């Protein structure tokens, strides 16, 4: 199982990129609503809250949210990859149920605006988390317990998939990676609109059902989890221990990271649009 003691991403680069992609695709009405709710009228209104859920999960009041960042798929990669809600989602919740829970809070007119804003921050983060394959896997705490090498440095596998591969794709990032994230998001946005992602993106919203949010999120988790067998642990967890991942492994994994970042941003935009569409006129801010 993954725990609240799992290492934090150093920069949140992927989360911030996904948020920028989403802000490029949401409807104007959605932009207006969330800029007001989040009290930020700049183009960074989603990016600026993209890592908030990671920053608070280690504080006393929010420790309970730690389990919401993942679902512990108790499968057997690379022989079998699968996500079963009853088997894998803890009694206190998981990323699949958290997306539904916080979506409902954003829509709750009885909830004060500051709590709805907090819920929106969780939604932005968890839709991103669920697209990272190792957030949909139980083996060695989602890879946190698997030691590997990255360009000669000792890291854990989860960190490589959370951070290292994405940062290398853009040539490295600073401690505050907003410029690099915005540029990468712009590149991916162009590829979705007119490039190599355009054809595939027409199917990225297949299975999205706002009236069955659990099934929607579970589909995303199963999609991400499948990559654990095909790309994350193609030879199993034991075989990757101590291996250098900066060469051939990176070359195979990088396209998956880019695809999942693109999907996450595109789907997050659609999800936020659905939230705003579900608001009653008197509930709009």
CATH topology of domain 13-145+176-237+261-283: P1 Nuclease (1.10.575)
6 confidence band (pLDDT: 50, 70, 90): very low
Distance between CA atoms of 96 and 102, rounded to whole angstroms? 11
- Average pLDDT score, the chain: 94
Q: What is the pLDDT of residue 229?
A: 98
Question: In this predicted structure, what is the pLDDT of residue 283?
Answer: 62
Whether the ω angle into residue 78 lies within 30 degrees of 0, i.e. cis, is yes
pLDDT level of residue 176 (50, 70, 90 thresholds): confident
**pLDDT at 35 (0 to 100):** 98
Sign, Cα dihedral of 277, 221, 13, 196: negative
The gap between the terminal CA atoms of the chain, to the nearest Å, is 40
Task: Name the residue ranges covered by the structural domains of the chain.
Answer: 13-145+176-237+261-283
pLDDT at position 175 = 77
pLDDT in tens, 64-74: 999 999 999 99
Rounded to whole angstroms, the Cα distance separating 43 from 94 reads 30
Q: Are 81 and 228 in contact (CB under 8 A)?
A: yes
Q: How far is CA 205 from CA 127, 174, 201, 216, 266, in A?
A: 13, 33, 8, 9, 8
Residue 9 has pLDDT above 70, yes or no: no
pLDDT at 157 exceeding the cut of 60: yes
Residue given tokens 């410029």 in the structure block: 179
Which residues have CB under 8 Å from 196's CB, separation 6+? none
Structure-token match 């957030």, residue found: 135
Q: What is the mean pLDDT of residues 221-228?
A: 99
Contact 160, 150 (CB under 8 A): yes
Q: What mean pLDDT comes out for the span 203-209?
A: 98
- Alpha-carbon distances of 37 from 34, 89, 115, rounded to whole Å: 5, 30, 10
Residue 4 scores a pLDDT above 50? no
pTM to 2 decimal places: 0.95
Phi-psi region of 104 (alpha: psi -120 to 50; beta: other; left: phi over 0): alpha
Burial 139-169 (b: 16+ CB within 10 A, else e): bbbbbbebebebeeeebbbbbbbbbbbbbbb
Could you give the CA distance from residue 82 to residue 102 in angstroms, rounded to a whole number?
25
Q: Which pLDDT value is given to residue 3?
A: 45
Q: What pLDDT band is residue 8 in, cutting at 50, 70 and 90?
A: very low
Burial of 48 (0-12, 13-18, 19+ CB in 10 A): middle
Are 14 and 47 a contacting pair, CB within 8 Å?
A: no
Section 47-51 average pLDDT: 98
Distance, CA of 264 to CA of 170 (rounded, Å): 18
């Amino acid at each position: 199982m993954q725990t609240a003691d799992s290492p934090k991403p150093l920069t949140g680069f992927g989360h911030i990129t996904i948020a920028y992609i989403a802000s490029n695709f949401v409807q104007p009405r959605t932009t207006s609503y969330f800029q007001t709710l989040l009290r930020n009228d700049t183009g960074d209104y989603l990016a600026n809250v993209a890592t908030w859920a990671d920053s608070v999960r280690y504080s006393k009041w929010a420790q309970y949210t730690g389990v919401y960042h993942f679902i512990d798929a108790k499968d057997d990669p690379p022989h079998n990859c699968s996500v079963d809600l009853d088997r894998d989602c803890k009694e206190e919740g998981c990323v699949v149920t958290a997306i539904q829970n916080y979506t409902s809070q954003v829509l709750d007119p009885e909830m004060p605006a500051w709590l709805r804003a907090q819920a929106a921050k969780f939604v932005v983060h968890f839709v991103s988390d669920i697209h990272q394959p190792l957030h949909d896997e139980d083996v060695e705490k989602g890879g946190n317990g698997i030691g590997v090498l990255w360009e000669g440095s000792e890291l854990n596998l989860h960190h490589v998939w959370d951070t290292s591969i994405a940062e290398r794709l853009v040539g490295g990032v600073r401690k505050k990676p907003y410029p690099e994230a915005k540029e990468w998001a712009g590149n991916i946005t162009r590829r979705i609109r007119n490039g190599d992602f355009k054809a595939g993106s027409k199917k990225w919203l297949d299975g999205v059902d706002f009236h069955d949010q659990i099934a929607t999120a579970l589909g995303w988790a199963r999609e991400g989890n499948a990559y654990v067998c095909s790309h994350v642990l193609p030879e199993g967890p034991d075989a990757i221990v101590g291996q250098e991942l900066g060469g051939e492994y990176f070359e195979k994994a990088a396209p998956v990271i880019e695809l999942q970042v693109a999907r996450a941003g595109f789907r997050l935009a659609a999800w936020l649009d659905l939230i705003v569409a579900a608001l009653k006129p008197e509930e709009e801010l």
